[in-house]
């Protein structure tokens, strides 16, 4: 059965940024601070290395209910029995990915344009990472940032739940949720911070405040 997921505060791990504390301890602290999903992303790692890192993360996440998503590497996701897989438009064919991982794994895809967002098949894909909203140094090869207005258009075009990606911080929570996204995906806003738990708490608190404000309107 597919694990329930909450896109509110989606941590994308960067092993280099996390190096001072390590990805496992960074994740432990961040989840304690309110992170709702964790993605393991390391484009330079081999499948075996991703599996090793993933096992350490699974031990940290056990009992928390927070899903572990593997970026790009289908073989690693399968070997781990991960909760999910996230692929980019250029990583692999999403239909083939679904066939390989089966029906019970969460499947996310990146969408940088309205056309790509609109083309998502909700029978195959569970959520979309939409953006980049802002420029970020953690992914220097990203497409042209779309800004908050562009984010709203991507969200509107997507037939599946969305999480906003790229350059996001606590201060953006209100604007991102107002654009219709289900949450914020962050890297450097948590990874490499001296206190990842407090960094996560600040973003989680901003998201909760933004949602409460929207309810009152």
Active site residues: 41, 110, 139
Structure tokens at 159: 């037939």
Give bridge partners of residue 188 from the DSSP assignment.
none
**Cβ partners under 8 Å of residue 20, min gap 6:** 192
Residues 6 or more apart whose CB falls under 8 angstroms from that of 42 comprise: 13, 14, 15, 49, 50, 53, 71
Question: Tokens representing 168?
Answer: 């996001």
> Which residue in this structure is represented by tokens 């906003």?
164
């Amino acid at each position: 059965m597919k694990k329930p997921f909450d896109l509110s505060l989606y941590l994308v791990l960067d092993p280099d940024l996390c190096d001072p504390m390590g990805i496992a301890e960074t994740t432990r602290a961040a989840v304690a601070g309110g992170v709702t999903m964790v993605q393991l992303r390391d484009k330079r790692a081999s499948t075996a290395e991703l599996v090793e890192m993933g096992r350490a993360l699974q031990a940290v996440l056990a009992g928390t209910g927070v899903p572990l998503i593997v970026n790009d590497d289908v073989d690693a996701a399968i070997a781990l029995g991960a909760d999910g897989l996230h692929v980019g438009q250029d990583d692999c064919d999403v239909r083939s990915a679904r066939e390989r991982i089966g029906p019970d794994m969460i499947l996310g895809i990146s969408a940088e344009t309205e056309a790509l967002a609109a083309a998502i098949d909700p029978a195959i894909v569970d959520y979309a990472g939409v953006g980049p909203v802002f420029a970020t140094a953690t992914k220097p090869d990203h497409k042209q940032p779309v800004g908050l207005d562009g984010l709203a258009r991507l969200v509107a075009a997507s037939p599946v739940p969305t999480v906003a990606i790229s350059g996001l911080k606590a201060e953006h929570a209100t604007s991102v949720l107002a654009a219709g996204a289900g949450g914020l995906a962050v890297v450097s806003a948590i990874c490499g911070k001296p206190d990842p738990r407090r960094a996560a708490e600040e973003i989680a608190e901003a998201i909760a405040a933004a949602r409460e404000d929207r309810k009152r309107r």
